[in-house]
Chains A and B, each alone.
Chain A
Amino acid sequence: MSALSKQSLIDETGFISSKVAFDVSGLTVAYDRKPVLWDVSFQAHSGRITAIVGPNGAGKSTFLKASLGLVPAVTGQTFILGEALKEARKNIAYMPQRASVDWDFPASALDVVMMGLYGRMGFLRWPSQHHREQALSCLDQVDMADFAERQIGQLSGGQQQRVFMARALAQEAEVYLMDEPFAGVDAATENVIFKTLKALTAEGKTVIVVHHDLDTVRKMFDDVLLINRQVIANGPIDDVMSDEALRRTYSGRLGFHKAGEPVGGAAVQAHV
């Protein structure tokens, strides 16, 4: 699979054909003056599915959130298909972690998916039959049409995750940013979500997934961003996911020489 996907990145003449859809440069995030992410630059290409991989506390979720301006960054820019973040909101579908909402909320699965359509409904407009059908078809794509009317708290964890996936689908965005969509879900759900994401990339959309399971990265993704506060490596999986790079991501401790002066690679290799 990865050989094929590399072909799609480089066409017959040898030039890179797919365009940069998600472009973050120089992103630094700090909590209480302690840097969580340091000078992270990253590009994701359209038509490809990228995993963001790193140990707990490496700043994977923070990277997604900060790149979308959901948590304040010290510095850094994001461009979506060449547009600044502010103009590109309609092209972004962000799927938060499942635990970030209260599932006892008075809403049905269909109501939640409908929220993905709010952005296009406009001021003063209430959901119409047309919107309902659209939302239903999104639920159908993740095999959840039978549960449309069920209150979301009555769904299993995997089903809740699928409702979130359907809501992202409803947004009809260009770039999909998913925070741990495969965490704690059953095998069937994992399969459905993965197929859905692959279908999106087949349409030329860009999919970026925070992923926690190293074993499945090679099987599921085209590209990878290895991250541990700083970018360790970024690119097609076969080029980037070496044992050496993984060791640097997982066991190397990014030392900070003096306050604020990261020494990245050198210090890591010294530790290993």
Chain B
Amino acid sequence: MSEFLAELIKALTLQAGYNTSLVLVGAALLGGAAGGIGVFVLLRKRSLVSDAISHATLPGVVLAFMLASYFFDDGRALWALLIGAAFSAVLGALAVEWIVRYTRLKEDAAIGTVLSTFFALGIVLLTLVQSVYQGGQAGLSDFILGSTAGLLYQDALLIAVSAFVVGLVLIFKFKELTLLCFDITFAKAQGYNVASLDRLLLFLLLAVVVIGLKTVGLVLVIALTIIPPVAARFWTERVSHMVLIATFIGALGSWFGAALSSVATDLPTGGLIVLTLFSIFLISLLVAPKRGALAHALRHKLFQRRVHERQGLLAISRAEPVFDPLTQKILRKKRFLRADGAVTEEGHQAAQKMARDQVLWNAYHQAYPIEALALEDWSLRPIEEVIPKDLVEELSEELMLTKVRLVQ
């Protein structure tokens, strides 16, 4: 076990040899680019389309292999396979668009149809190729589940260049892409060419999917564009930060996953990368400070306790009995109630204070309805803690005056 860890650390710190380092750097660049572009794909609600695109690459890969082995006698030339992949992916994307536009089918049905048909065609062609070409096609099936074993310097360079281009476009088209994702009619009305922006987004996605095919495989490459942005969304409320965080998560997860696979050589790279990304997603889901599940549960619990304590004390101030078991428990814990349910001296005092606080809150709500609406803590915390002191004084003076008037 400790040997495994030692080797993993060696790989992670790029001390496990040239090949492993190349794979790690390549995977991280790919993961970063996929995470960055994935943010816009997610916000444009196109994550499923990318699934169709990645599955649609397979027939192109196999056909390109057949053509290349016929014409150049070298079926495994990577550039030929990638061009083939891109070509059939574009066909797949167009097919989805065509079905949605000219039939009554919804996008999800169109995606399901296109995805499975293209993949089926790819599998049939692949089996055909395997029986005809025997040894020459070895490695072709790597495109399905991915393998980093054969990653060459040129492959890594291709990934680096593509990642750089994707990064540049994201920086220079950030405003336009954000607008496209948030409010497409507004973007159109401003005169932006939304169709070409959509095409740009699709093109970037395509580029990432195609260069990621060999490393992660077509089944899992889609996870690189979906999981990092979804995880990043837990940590931020801004698009720009989300892009940075998703890029970081994508790169980190791919780096770590690739390092794992270099140590556990019999496990598939793509699967390890995706599982690593999923762990990051799970951590984000749980512990993110604002949108995370734990923070949410904690906030809800606190809120519930506040409401119960407040309502219980207000009931006491009106000399009404407290029936709710949770309210009773909370009041007892604070020693406002005795075990037999009788109100303690502290309880009476706290109830008095709470009643006064509530009257002030109500007065505030009447005097400043808009501001009260905007407050998240309206009538939940003591009013002095939430609004300025002079305003509280002003409110209580006004209350005294109305009381006097009422008495007269």
Do residues B185 and A107 form an inter-chain contact, with CB atoms below 8 A? no
CA distance A86 to B191 in the complex (A): 8
Proximity bits, A143-167, B CB within 8 Å = 1, else 0: 1001100010000100100000001
Proximity bits, B218-262, A CB within 8 Å = 1, else 0: 000000000000000100111101100000000000000000000
**Given A111-B238, A118-B179, A106 and B186 touching (CB < 8 A)?**
no
Is B18's beta carbon under 8 Å from chain A? no
Do residues B190 and A89 form an inter-chain contact, with CB atoms below 8 A? yes
Taking a contact as CB atoms closer than 8 A, the residue among B172, B175, B233, B369 that contacts A106 in the complex is B233
Taking a contact as CB atoms closer than 8 A, the residue among A108, A121, A167 that contacts B175 in the complex is A121
Question: Which DSSP category, helix, strand, loop or mixed, fits chain B's interface?
Answer: helix
Chain B interface: which of A47-55, A63-71, A193-201, A241-249?
A63-71
Is B298's beta carbon under 8 Å from chain A? no
**Given A159-B374, A188-B369, A119 and B182 touching (CB < 8 A)?**
no
**Given A106-B236, A106-B238, A106-B239, A115 and B182 touching (CB < 8 A)?**
yes
Do residues B370 and A143 form an inter-chain contact, with CB atoms below 8 A? yes
Do residues A107 and B172 form an inter-chain contact, with CB atoms below 8 A? no
**Given A94-B189, A106-B239, A106-B242, A100 and B183 touching (CB < 8 A)?**
yes
**In chain A, what residue has the closest Cβ to B186?**
A96
Is A1's beta carbon under 8 Å from chain B? no
Q: Which 5 A-B pairs have the closest CB atoms?
A: A89-B191, A94-B189, A151-B237, A96-B185, A101-B183
How far, in Å, is B239 (CB) from chain A's closest CB?
5
How far, in Å, is B388 (CB) from chain A's closest CB?
13
| 8 A Cβ contacts from A101-131 to B | 101-102, 105-108, 111-112, 115, 118-119, 121, 123-124, 126
**In chain A, what residue has the closest Cβ to B290?**
A151
Proximity bits, B336-378, A CB within 8 Å = 1, else 0: 0000000000000000000000000000000001100110000
CA distance A251 to B399 in the complex (A): 52
Is A92's beta carbon under 8 Å from chain B? yes
Residues from chain B with Cβ under 8 Å of A69 in the complex? 188
Do residues A118 and B185 form an inter-chain contact, with CB atoms below 8 A? no
Is B181's beta carbon under 8 Å from chain A? yes
CA distance A221 to B239 in the complex (A): 39
**In chain A, what residue has the closest Cβ to B189?**
A94
Residues from chain A with Cβ under 8 Å of B186 in the complex? 94, 96, 115, 167
Residues from chain A with Cβ under 8 Å of B236 in the complex? 106
Do residues A107 and B370 form an inter-chain contact, with CB atoms below 8 A? no
Do residues A147 and B374 form an inter-chain contact, with CB atoms below 8 A? yes
A68-B189, A94-B185, A111-B238 given. 11 additional CB < 8 A pairs?
Answer: A89-B189, A94-B189, A100-B183, A106-B43, A107-B238, A108-B238, A111-B239, A118-B176, A118-B190, A159-B374, A167-B186
Do residues A100 and B191 form an inter-chain contact, with CB atoms below 8 A? no
**Given A147-B374, A156-B373, A106 and B237 touching (CB < 8 A)?**
yes
CA distance A216 to B377 in the complex (A): 35
Residues from chain A with Cβ under 8 Å of B241 in the complex? 106
Residues from chain A with Cβ under 8 Å of B191 in the complex? 86, 89-90, 119
Do residues A70 and B233 form an inter-chain contact, with CB atoms below 8 A? no
Do residues A70 and B237 form an inter-chain contact, with CB atoms below 8 A? no
| 8 A Cβ contacts from B161-189 to A | 172, 174-176, 178-179, 181-183, 185-186, 188-189
Question: Which DSSP category, helix, strand, loop or mixed, fits chain A's interface?
Answer: mixed
CA distance A70 to B179 in the complex (A): 15
CA distance A256 to B281 in the complex (A): 58
| 8 A Cβ contacts from B47-103 to A | none
Residues from chain A with Cβ under 8 Å of B182 in the complex? 101-102, 105, 107, 112, 115
Chain B interface residue count, CB cutoff 8 Å, equals 28
**In chain A, what residue has the closest Cβ to B185?**
A96
How far, in Å, is B190 (CB) from chain A's closest CB?
5
Do residues A100 and B179 form an inter-chain contact, with CB atoms below 8 A? no
Do residues B242 and A118 form an inter-chain contact, with CB atoms below 8 A? no
CA distance A94 to B188 in the complex (A): 10
Do residues A108 and B237 form an inter-chain contact, with CB atoms below 8 A? yes
**In chain A, what residue has the closest Cβ to B191?**
A89
**Given A101-B183, A112-B182, A92 and B189 touching (CB < 8 A)?**
yes
Residues from chain B with Cβ under 8 Å of A177 in the complex? 189
Residues from chain B with Cβ under 8 Å of A65 in the complex? 185
Do residues A123 and B237 form an inter-chain contact, with CB atoms below 8 A? no
Proximity bits, B27-49, A CB within 8 Å = 1, else 0: 00000000000000001010000
CA distance A121 to B175 in the complex (A): 10
Residues from chain B with Cβ under 8 Å of A108 in the complex? 237-238
CA distance A171 to B189 in the complex (A): 12
9 A-B pairs whose Cβ atoms sit less than 8 Å apart in the complex: A89-B190, A90-B191, A101-B182, A102-B182, A107-B182, A108-B238, A118-B179, A156-B373, A177-B189
Do residues A70 and B188 form an inter-chain contact, with CB atoms below 8 A? yes
Residues from chain B with Cβ under 8 Å of A118 in the complex? 175-176, 179, 190
Residues from chain B with Cβ under 8 Å of A102 in the complex? 45, 182
**In chain A, what residue has the closest Cβ to B194?**
A70
CA distance A171 to B187 in the complex (A): 12
**In chain A, what residue has the closest Cβ to B236?**
A106
Residues from chain B with Cβ under 8 Å of A101 in the complex? 182-183
Do residues B189 and A107 form an inter-chain contact, with CB atoms below 8 A? no
CA distance A177 to B172 in the complex (A): 30
Do residues B172 and A123 form an inter-chain contact, with CB atoms below 8 A? yes
Residues from chain A with Cβ under 8 Å of B179 in the complex? 115, 118
User: B175, B239, B242 — which one has the most chain A CB atoms within 10 A of its CB?
Assistant: B175
CA distance A44 to B272 in the complex (A): 63
CA distance A99 to B239 in the complex (A): 20
User: B181, B186, B373 — which one has the most chain A CB atoms within 10 A of its CB?
Assistant: B186
How far, in Å, is A231 (CB) from chain B's closest CB?
22
How far, in Å, is B228 (CB) from chain A's closest CB?
14
